[in-house]
């Protein structure tokens, strides 16, 4: 595996572990959805900024894009006086939409390079959008369900991110 793939895999594993922590929060009776959202956007921003700094010589700006979208949506969420389920869903939908643009750009990059990974990139984007829409629709329920739905979405996203460097490595060796 190349350095970029190792860094991407490490970040993906960290995001997956974080999603498992979020999924376990209702078991310890943590239902503060505002805290979960703030922690999620902050964690994504910090981890992806570190990823960007480590990979800045490879001209990979995906980590920077995720950092900026996470910080932007964090600021939008913090500016809301009373976070209702509708506002929470809109903030998450905005975050999902902006991150989808990064995934689409990555798939387009693979397609421009005639890399077979563009098929995975499109599948990744499709699954990301479907789970994101399902999550946003289910954010109208109580805080425990909201936390579980956010954890579910983050888990699916983390698993999708884990497959990317692994598949890239496998395709490179075939």
> Per-residue pLDDT tens for 122-148?
999 999 999 999 999 999 998 889 999
CB 65 within 8 A of CB 25: no
Task: Write the pLDDT tens digit of every residue in 18-43.
Answer: 999 999 999 998 888 999 999 999 99
pLDDT of residue 38: 95
Cα(144)–Cα(129) distance, integer angstroms: 23
Taking the CB of residue 127, how many other CB atoms lie within 10 A of it? 15
> Which single residue is written with the structure tokens 């981890």?
47
User: Helices in 1-116 by DSSP H: which ranges?
Assistant: 3-24, 33-54, 62-79, 85-112
Residue 49 — very low, low, confident or very high, per pLDDT cuts 50/70/90? very high
Res 18: pLDDT? 97
Contacts 24+ apart (CB under 8 A), 108-112: none
């Amino acid at each position: 595996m190349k350095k970029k793939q190792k860094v991407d895999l490490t970040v993906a594993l960290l995001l997956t572990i974080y999603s498992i922590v979020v999924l376990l929060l209702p078991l310890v009776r943590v239902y503060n959805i505002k805290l979960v959202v703030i922690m999620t956007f902050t964690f994504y921003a910090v981890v992806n900024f570190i990823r960007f700094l480590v990979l800045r010589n490879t001209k990979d700006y995906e980590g920077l894009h995720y950092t900026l979208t996470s910080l932007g949506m964090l600021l939008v969420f913090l500016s809301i006086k009373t976070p209702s389920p509708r506002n929470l869903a809109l903030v998450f939908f905005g975050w999902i939409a902006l991150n989808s643009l990064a995934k689409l750009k990555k798939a387009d990059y693979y397609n421009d390079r005639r890399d077979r990974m563009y098929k995975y990139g499109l599948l990744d984007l499709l699954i990301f959008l479907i789970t994101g829409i399902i999550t946003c629709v289910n954010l109208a329920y109580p805080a425990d369900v909201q936390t579980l739905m956010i954890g579910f979405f983050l888990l699916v996203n983390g698993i999708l991110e884990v497959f990317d460097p692994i598949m890239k490595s496998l395709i490179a060796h075939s």
